Amino acid sequence: MALQSGPHIISFSSGKGGVGKTTVAVNIAVCLSREGKRVLLIDGDLGLANVDVVLGLDVRHTIRETVEDGRDLRDTLVEISPGFFVLPASSGVPEMTRLSREDQELLLKALEGVTGNFDYVLVDTAAGIGESVLWFNNWVNSHCIIFSPDPTSMTDAYALMKVLTTRYDKKNFLLIVNQVQSGKEGKAIFSNMERVLAQFLDIKPEFLGAIPRDNAVVRAIRSQKPFLQTEPDSRAGRALKRICISLTEGLNGS
Ligand SMILES: Nc1ncnc2c1ncn2[C@@H]1O[C@H](COP(=O)(O)OP(=O)(O)O)[C@@H](O)[C@H]1O
Ligand SMILES: [Mg+2]
């Protein structure tokens, strides 16, 4: 087995909006950093940022200033706790979702200048299959795809994986089913998706786990804190810790 060099770079995408990408990405980032990993969480929703909202951050600089003014990306990083950094995006800036080729190259160079300092780089992307979503997914090595038992979220997640596989030759999909009633439901929903992916795209995804629909998550979002911090022993908190273990073990090939 080849040794991993450099950080694990993972996107969090879903197709459909509102399924829990930001919530899951933020809490996985918190979980990994508590394990002593150096973590960078990038808000890849360049036009409608919300990592800062979920974490209750007071953001001064964003990725936009790097792209538009050439500001050093290192000045934009916000340190949340030792070894855990967030790279915030701008909100209400629709043009940021359509980066020109020069801007893309600039951003890529800037990102590559900072990612080497981390064990994990997580990218919370926008919804849909727009340009920025595909761009970030093309950049990362693994794709964490989040969906819920809602059939429209499943078809949208499938559509996203289809584009990534057929157009970008991406196959490394790590699936999370969010907002389930029970673990059993989560496994059944994953099995359905697994079957469809095998049949139509000839790919085999990995199941990271399921997260129950839990009011602890809703309460945490209202208080702008990660649920892993406010209610770590809630059902969602325990599920998230198991997912974090699957993620790190899966990526290390054990
Ligand atoms: N496991 C869960 N249990 C209860 N509510 C959840 C859960 N996951 C997400 N939510 C709710 O869904 C909303 C959207 O989540 P968010 O992470 O912002 O989605 P996305 O980033 O995919 O648009 C949150 O505000 C939260 O209220
Ligand atoms: Mg989001």
Any idea where the domains of the chain sit in the sequence?
8-251
Q: Give every CB contact of residue 142 below 8 A, 6+ residues apart in sequence.
A: 8, 9, 10, 11, 172, 173, 174, 251
Nearest CA to ligand 1 atom 17: 20
* Per-chain mean pLDDT for the chain: 93
* pTM to 2 decimal places: 0.95
Nearest CA to ligand 1 atom 3: 213
Ligand 2 centroid vs 92 CA: distance in angstroms?
14
CA–CA dist 250, 111 (Å, integer) = 25
Q: Give every CB contact of residue 27 below 8 A, 6+ residues apart in sequence.
A: 226, 227, 228, 240
Structure tokens at 168: 């970008």
* Residue found by looking up tokens 């949208």 in the block: 156
For residue 4, what is the DSSP state?
Answer: P
Write out pLDDT tens, residues 139-177: 999 999 999 999 999 999 999 999 999 999 999 999 999
Q: Does domain 8-251 have CATH number 3.90.1150.10?
A: no
Helix 235-251 to helix 21-34 angle (10° resolution) is 70
Q: Which atom of ligand 1 is nearest to the CA of 25?
A: 17
Lowest pLDDT segment from 12-21, 63-72, 161-170, 186-195: 63-72
With the most atoms of ligand 1 within 8 angstroms of its CB, the residue from 16, 19, 21, 23 to mutate is 23
Where residue 132 falls (left for φ over 0; alpha for ψ -120 to 50; beta otherwise) is alpha
Higher per-residue pLDDT: 3 or 103: 103
Q: Which atom of ligand 1 is nearest to the CA of 211?
A: 1
CA–CA dist 45, 51 (Å, integer) = 9
